Structure 1
Amino acid sequence: MTAKLPLDQDYAAYTPADYAVWKKLADRQMKALREVACQEYLDCLDALHPILSPNHPPRFSDLNGRLLPAQGWSIKVVPGFLPVDEFFSLLANRRFCSSTWLRSEEQLDYLEEPDMFHDIFGHIPLYLNHEYGEFARRLGELGVRFKDDEEKVTQLQRLYWFTIEFGVMRQNGEVKVYGAGICSSYGETRHVFDSPKVEVVPFVLDEVLAQEFIITEVQNKYFAIQDFNELWKVVDELEARWEME
């Protein structure tokens, strides 16, 4: 779509070209992820079918109809990047922000900012998972509580980046992906498993909090958790640490 949609999903505005782009992206990722995504993501993706499928862009109202009764989450339409404090506030209130515009055919493999495919296909399925959703909510709560502490906000952004955006885990001895930046990107999915530059290390909280990242560059270092319960312990540890300062 050549113009971004208003702060509400005008479903009738999606064109045949948008349907074609969505189908190409969703078909490609569904095939790619079957072998490499964590079981939790795949289960949630299946649970959202046919609302979330290659056949059509998803209706946010239909997604909310599944998310709200399941775990209390819903989608908040936004025009683009939000101030970090507003973003954390939405997470704390079980709202995940999404744009409604979709990339063009020429942008299939690279975008400067997230579109609806990244926000919805990458992020939304796992909000049906209780452990994952509660981790995101509690991370948002920490962001709200410590929004005036620049160092802590930076650390929370790094934690978010290496979990919710670019998280991986080990299941049955194999690396599996769950981060939305991987699950929504064919190139990133292949990169994790094919690039000799990639390093997958155990998730150590202090290392994650100290790890800088550049949003416009492909990732070469990933921190592997064992399961989503580990993320709860991370939030517990971080909250206890900061409360003692």
Structure 2
Amino acid sequence: MSVPNTAKLKEQFDVGLQTRADFTIDQPMDRYGGVDHAVWKQLYTRQTSLLEGRVCDAFLLGVKRLNLSPENVPAFDDINTQLMPATGWRIVAVPGLVPDQVFFEHLANRRFPVTWWMRRPDQLDYLQEPDCFHDLFGHVPLLFDPVFADYMHAYGRAALAAHAANALPLLARLYWYTVEFGLIRDDASPNGVKIYGAGIVSSKDETLYSQQSDAPNRIAFDLARVMQTQYRIDTFQKTYFVIDDFAQLFDLARTDFAPLLAMLADAAPIPAGDIRAGDRVIMRGSGEGWATDGDI
């Protein structure tokens, strides 16, 4: 398996932090400066205020249980003293994006890799690869929810099997449209949905866009449909898939993926903005502002 070859990861290796075979490092607390803490404070304060009424209750409860300080980048060891007794998960510091197989092995063993470094002040609203705020604030609160925590564990094991079967893109789409950019049904909320995906909750603009914009499609979650659907890494999503509850995800993650992976192995991917005849459409998007290429 090849190592992700990003400029940021090379930068991390070049500064000499000791990286273990599983890509974990000791969180270098002494390397956080005043700018890092100020960026954390600005992002944390902004997102916690913005997400009230927009994000699912389980996420807000997780933030409360984390008891994060808005003033400083948190110490991962302090978080683990709260998280491990709750659901058996712990977070581990990494220098950045890690190889897929390494990432899935961590998930399969109830370890969530968290990038240690913070984005720059000029990157508050867009960052090409995940930083500490995205990984920690975006992902970790839901690991306090027992059902979602079990889904992540089951997903890690399923993804390892998919990797062995050369079917990783199918599982990557499932992760993207649930863990990163998932919505959950809530009839009392705008457009009938609330947010839970980490890529949304850690972004001011996508928080507003995913729930309130008329542009994207919102479609009821269907496993095979999701695994065939391309997505965007450079703009807002054209389509969001909406689950009924976290139990729906966990039930799906416990299924035998092998027959589905075999069935979809040669299926043509579905463009990110398409609506198909069998879709249960919650809201058909206007498509305003969509790019005409770039789906992956």
Partner amino acid, structure 2, of 1:42: L
- Is it true that 1:189 corresponds to 2:207 in the alignment? yes
CA contact (8 A) 2:65 2:82 kept: no
RMSD: 2.0
- Measure the CA separation in 1 of the matches of 2:207 and 2:238: 12
Instruction: Choose the corresponding residue for 1:89, options 105, 118, 131.
Output: 105
CA contact (8 A) 2:194 2:211 kept: no
Q: Which residue of 2 aligns with 1:162?
A: 177
- Measure the CA separation in 2 of the matches of 1:131 and 1:240: 23
Report percent identity of matched pairs: 39
Q: TM-score, normalised by structure 1?
A: 0.92
Partner amino acid, structure 2, of 1:164: V
Instruction: Choose the corresponding residue for 1:125, options 141, 162, 169.
Output: 141
- Measure the CA separation in 2 of the matches of 1:243 and 1:147: 11
Q: CA deviation at 1:238?
A: 4.5
Instruction: Choose the corresponding residue for 1:176, options 194, 201, 210.
Output: 194
Does the residue aligned with 1:147 lie in a helix, a strand or coil? helix
Instruction: Choose the corresponding residue for 1:235, options 253, 273, 294.
Output: 253
Q: Which residue of 2 aligns with 1:67?
A: 83
- Measure the CA separation in 2 of the matches of 1:154 and 1:244: 13
Partner amino acid, structure 2, of 1:180: A
For residues 17-36 of structure 1, what are the structure 2 equivalents within 5 Å?
Answer: 17-36=35-54
- Measure the CA separation in 1 of the matches of 2:205 and 2:48: 13
- Measure the CA separation in 1 of the matches of 2:91 and 2:251: 26
Structure 1 unpaired stretches of 5+: none
Q: CA deviation at 1:216?
A: 2.4
Change (3 A) 1:243 1:116: closer
Larger deviation, residues 117-126 vs 209-218: 209-218
Provide, for residues 13-63 of structure 1, a one-character-per-residue CA deviation record: whole Å limited to 9, x for no partner.
Answer: 2111111111110000001111100011011111111xx231211110001
- Measure the CA separation in 2 of the matches of 1:20 and 1:202: 39
Q: Which residue of 1 aligns with 2:58?
A: 40
Q: CA deviation at 1:215?
A: 2.0
Q: CA deviation at 1:142?
A: 1.0
Q: TM-score, normalised by structure 2?
A: 0.77
Provide, for residues 70-114 of structure 1, a one-character-per-residue CA deviation record: whole Å limited to 9, x for no partner.
Answer: 111111221221111111111000010111100111111111110
Does the residue aligned with 2:240 lie in a helix, a strand or coil? strand
Change (3 A) 1:189 1:180: same
- Measure the CA separation in 1 of the matches of 2:262 and 2:230: 25
Structure 2 unpaired stretches of 5+: 1-7, 18-24, 264-296
- Measure the CA separation in 1 of the matches of 2:133 and 2:162: 31
Instruction: Choose the corresponding residue for 2:233, options 215, 218, 228.
Output: 215
CA contact (8 A) 2:83 2:144 kept: yes
- Is it true that 1:144 corresponds to 2:156 in the alignment? no
Partner amino acid, structure 1, of 2:201: C
Q: Which residue of 1 aligns with 2:33?
A: 15
- Measure the CA separation in 2 of the matches of 1:144 and 1:200: 29
- Measure the CA separation in 1 of the matches of 2:137 and 2:127: 15
Partner amino acid, structure 2, of 1:228: F
CA contact (8 A) 2:56 2:196 kept: yes
Partner amino acid, structure 1, of 2:72: H
Q: CA deviation at 1:233?
A: 1.8
Q: Which residue of 2 aligns with 1:200?
A: 218
- Measure the CA separation in 1 of the matches of 2:59 and 2:259: 30
CA contact (8 A) 2:195 2:211 kept: no
- Measure the CA separation in 2 of the matches of 1:240 and 1:145: 8
Q: Which residue of 1 aligns with 2:288?
A: none
Q: CA deviation at 1:244?
A: 9.1
Q: CA deviation at 1:242?
A: 5.0
> Number of aligned pairs?
241
